[in-house]
Amino acid sequence: MGSHRTKITNNSTFRVTIVKIVQTLNSPKNSMNPHESNIKETATASKQWSSWQENFTLIAIALTLALLIRTFVAEPRLIPSESMYPTLHTGDRLVVEKVSYRLQPPKIGDIVVFQSPPELQRRGYDKNQALIKRVIGRPGEVISVSQGKVYLNGQPLQEDYIAEPPNQPFPAVTVPQDGFFVMGDNRNDSNDSRYWGFLPRKNLIGRATFRFWPLDRIGLI
């Protein structure tokens, strides 16, 4: 009988212990309040969304700056031909700055990048195709070619940058207002103002200033 009572007592004690454990687990201290859970989930989602917004904003700003710089300040260009040899070679990559010609006109000797002039467009060139040549004459100046020399206002130009002297004469012409006379440094292999006329100032894109490729010839032009 005593043994039976002991078993009953032990069983009762066990049940009481189990009940206390269950109550403890179900107590407010050990359970997550649904409201608190929602708040934490919302906060996490908000942080993630804020991070995405920040990244998208930075990307948008970077793209906008790149577009503005390319449109108004400078852009890279690839040399497609040997018309400016030996100064520039096919495959050279340049930086073309676009600011200076908004403030002042090109100077004699500047290497300029420009859109196809009207005469070349009539011959089938795309109007947005970019070409590169050297400025030889400005508005009001007289240009001619005779006996392998280029003359500016009756005086021969000292041109240590050309591949070879021009082998064909060119009659004297006066550069019109808002126009320029341009030639390639590879005088006998250049399609320039001798063949398609004057370059309108409005067609100018900018001035070639820096070669960044190839690396063994990197530097100012």
Catalytic residue ranges: 83, 133
Contacts of 171 (CB under 8 A, 6+ apart): 144
* Phi and psi, residue 85, nearest 5°: -65, 140
- Cα separation, 34 vs 48, in Å, equals 21
Cα-based distances in Å from 44 to 40, 47, 53, 151? 6, 5, 14, 75
- Quote the longest CA-to-CA distance of the chain: 139
Coil vs helix vs strand at 71: helix
